Amino acid sequence: MIPEIGLLFLVLAFSISSFYVCGNSFSFYRNNNFIISPKIVYLFFLSVLLSFLCLEISFLMDDFSVLYVANNSNENLPDYYKFAALWGGHEGSMLLYLLFLSLWTLIYYLKSKSSFGVFFLFVIFSLFSGFVIFTSNPFERLLPFSPEGGLDLNPLLQDFAFTIHPPTLYLGYTALTVPFSIAMARCVDQSYSNWASDLKNWSVVSWSFLTLGIALGSWWAYYELGWGGWWFWDPVENSSLIPWLIATALIHSAIATSKRNIFSRWTVLLSLGAILSSYVGLFLVRSGIVTSVHTFALDPERGLILLFIIIFVLIFSLGIYSSSKLNDVSYSYGSILSKEFFFLINNVFLIILAVAILFGTVYPIIYEIFSGGKDISVGKPYFDSVTVPIAFFLAFFQGFGILTNWSSRSTKLKNLYAYLAILILMTIILSILFLNNISLSIIITNLMISSILAGLIIYSFLQLKNSRKMNLSMEFSHFGIAIMILGIGLVSSLESQKELIAFKDKPFELGDYEISYQGEEKNIARNFSSDEVNFKVKDSNNEFNLIAEKRFYPVSKSIMTEAAIYPSIREDLYISIGDQVEQGWVVKAQLKPFVRLIWLGALIMAFGGFLSIFRFKRS
């Protein structure tokens, strides 16, 4: 009975949003106005929340008469994995998407009470809730009831990071709907005076959650997949990075629009590009058009419906945009040292980077379609060759850009000279620190982080000197980018590895470590069995043990590798095992210098964004 109640609440939410859209469309046609009631918004959110809770109860109660529960859970799963299993597949993850979409709708209404903005949020919800109800019902019954104990959650997802990575990323994806709705609201309502400021604030909300979600996904892939990589240029990874890049451009464009009343049309188009790029990610994950550890479904028909939704949103939005009256102040971008100019260049490079990544992601798909099934891949060499040069110039414009003034105040040339001097000095110092491992990539890394840090140092000095308030949100975000770039550059340039068959009493060396295989033990857990392979590790200071695992999940008959990791800020020792050979194990040992700086930098960036959100909520 609980699943039917859950479906009923979901249909109720869909009905509320659909009737609201239809009713207000008629009202706008007749009276050029929208009508909204707080009770409608509260009832709408409550309906989605109760539907979500009904599916969670089905998971926690092991109700395997529900098809989705039977396919994605097992009676031997720990309860916290049963809770997270709800978003372990296509149907449940879409219900989570709807929950967060309704949550942002409620928060936006309470914050702004803009009937136009809420209208467009309801349009998006109606499209996706209809998609879930008619093509992806998570409450569908399994008749006749056959699986005993359930088919189990994908072993790759039986991990703590899985419980927080998808929800965090979905909070970012769904939050992109709010800037889009604000932009559309401004297109039809010229009296929406503070729209650019609202749009900027909500873009920061989305950007912060996307930053945190992408970082959590990178961390999960690093230690769970057993490859020792933190980014693979996987199509689905790329589809999360592209909205992040566009959201970054959107924030800067919205700042210029709110401060100087310029870039208005560009800001609206970026809000549309951000939400559509997130929908492209949904399409890739759920259409089966790409193969990835992230994919939820292999159903081309549902993918086709998602494609129609993307096309509808595009045409619908462009139709509203084309009839809008968005007028900027008259301005000439003649001064190359104005903040407007640097924001413009920053936007151009970010969009070029997003388009380059999108091209590399979809080109193999397009090639396969038009070549009659021939398969090609676009990998790391392509992405490195296009992203590194663009990121290099972005770092410079980001670093010096914060020292520029709006066109009404001239930027002092002495700031530029001081910036270049500190940039060169910091690059030299950093290069000396890594003199033993100096290379072109190290020099490029040093130049990029010096570009950002030089700007932050001078900016902080000038703010303190002139007794001005520090923009801590911006400083933390930019500083986090510098730390992340440092981690990426160093681990990519300095990492080392060794692959061999490890035998007892035959230690091997990697860097400063002496590693010896000690033996293995069998372990029987609640939902899997494993071989725990023990390694003794010595260095000049201490001695410790690391345990790598080879797990077998009997329900899904899957074998998974759990890497053994010795973490530190300076470097990670990463040991993963392959097959057992005679009296030994196939072992891959890796040293990952400063890899933790990647996630530390991302956390600092997200913290900077959340600082801005805190100010937004207090205003």
CB count, 10 Å around CB of 408? 7
Instruction: For residues 444 and 554, state if they share a domain.
Output: no
Do residues 475 and 544 both lie within one domain? no
The answer to the question of residue 602 being in a domain is no
The alpha carbon of 515 is separated from its chain's Cα centroid by a whole number of angstroms, namely 36
Dmax (CA) of the chain? 85
Do 537 and 543 meet the contact criterion of CB atoms below 8 Å apart?
Answer: yes
Residues 397 and 372 in one domain: no
Report how far residue 474's alpha carbon sits from residue 605's, in angstroms, rounded to the nearest whole number: 9
The pLDDT value recorded for residue 224 is: 86
The tokens of 442 are what? 């190290």
Integer CA distances (angstroms), 505 to 94, 265, 519, 575, in order: 52, 69, 10, 18
Per the CB < 8 A criterion, the answer to whether 125 and 40 are in contact is: no
Say what the pLDDT of residue 618 is: 52
Q: Where are the alpha helices (DSSP H) in 326-471?
A: 339-370, 380-401, 413-433, 440-465
Taking alpha carbons only, the member of 526, 493, 513, 524 closest to residue 575 is: 513
Query: Residue 279 class from Cβ within 10 Å (0-12 exposed, 13-18 middle, 19+ buried)?
Result: buried
CA separation for the pair 335, 135 (Å, rounded): 54
CB atoms within 10 A of CB 460: 14
| 496-502 and 543-553 strand pairing | unpaired
User: Is 562 found in the same domain as 514?
Assistant: yes
The residue among 457, 478, 494 that closes a domain is 494
What separation in angstroms does the CA of 40 have from each of 17, 34, 51, 124? Answer: 9, 13, 17, 16
- 575 within 8 A of 564, measured Cβ to Cβ: yes
pLDDT at 553 (0 to 100): 93
> What pairs with residue 576 in β-bridges?
588
Q: Domain check: are 445 and 490 in the same one? A: yes
d(CA 525, CA 502): 26
Tell me, rounded to whole angstroms, the distance of Cα 566 from its chain centroid: 26
What gap in Å lies between CA 417 and CA 383, rounded to an integer?
A: 33
**Could you write out the three-class secondary structure of 241-274?**
HHHHHHHHHHHHHHHHHHHHCCCHHHHHHHHHHH
Q: What are phi and psi of 290, to 5 degrees?
A: -125, 155
Strand partners, 498: 589
C-beta atoms surrounding 389 within 10 Å:
13
Task: Using a cut of 0.75, tell me whether the model's pTM lies above it.
Answer: yes
Per-residue DSSP letters for 265-317? Answer: HHHHHHHHHHHHHHHHHHHHHHHSSS--TT-----HHHHHHHHHHHHHHHHHH
> Are 270 and 360 in the same domain?
yes
Contact 105, 74 (CB under 8 A): no
Whether residue 416 lies inside any domain: the answer is yes
Per-residue pLDDT tens for 2-26? 999 999 999 999 999 999 999 988 8
Residues 320, 434 share a domain: no
DSSP 289: S
List, as one string, the DSSP characters of 111-166: HH--HHHHHHHHHHHHHHHHHHHHH--TT-B-SS---SS-S---GGG-SHHHHHHH
- pLDDT the model gives residue 290: 65
Give a yes or no: residue 617 inside a domain.
no
Enumerate the H helices of 144-225 as residue ranges. 160-175, 177-188, 195-224
What's the confidence (pLDDT) of residue 594?
95
Rg (CA), the chain: 26
Q: Is the bond into 167 cis (omega within 30 degrees of 0)?
A: no
Instruction: Output DSSP code: residue 405.
Output: B
CA atoms within 13 A on the CB side of 306: 24
Burial 138-161 (b: 16+ CB within 10 A, else e): bbeebeeeebeebbbbbbbbbbeb
- Name which of 50, 89, 52, 90 is nearest 73 in CA terms: 89
Identify whether 539 is part of a domain: yes
Chain position carrying tokens 């797990």:
551
DSSP assignment, residue 40?
Answer: H
Q: Coil, strand or helix: which one is 294?
A: coil
Q: Which of 494, 509, 536 corresponds to the end of one domain?
A: 494
384 & 469 share domain: yes
201 part of a folded domain: yes
Q: Identify whether residues 226 and 375 lie together within a single domain.
A: yes
Per-residue pLDDT at 373: 66
Instruction: Report the C-alpha gap between 100 and 117 in whole angstroms.
Output: 16
Q: Is residue 618 part of a domain?
A: no
Rounded to 5 degrees, φ, ψ at 558 are -110, 145
User: Do residue 466 and residue 578 come from a single domain?
Assistant: no
Q: Based on the structure, what is the number of domains in the chain?
A: 4
> How far apart are alpha carbons 72 and 63 in whole angstroms?
11
Do 2 and 33 sit in the same domain of this protein?
A: yes
54 located within any domain = yes
Angle at 242 between CA 239 and CA 246, to 5 degrees: 150
List the domain range (segments joined by +) for residue 441. Answer: 380-494
Cα 352 to Cα 85, 243, 253: the distances in Å are 37, 13, 15
pLDDT at 333: 55
Which positions of the chain have pLDDT values less than 70? 113, 145-147, 288, 290-299, 329-334, 373, 408, 615-619
At position 367, the amino acid (one-letter code) is Y
Q: 600 in a domain, yes or no?
A: no
Asked if 469 and 412 count as a contact pair (C-beta separation under 8 A), the reply is no
Q: Which two tokens stand for residue 575?
A: 């040991």
Q: Which of 461, 494, 527 is the last residue of a domain?
A: 494
DSSP letter, residue 338? B
- In this structure, are residues 471 and 554 in contact, taking their beta carbons and an 8 Å threshold? no
Together in a domain, 297 and 412: no
The Cα–Cα gap between 105 and 109 comes to 6
CA trace torsion 411, 414, 419, 421 (10° rounding): 160
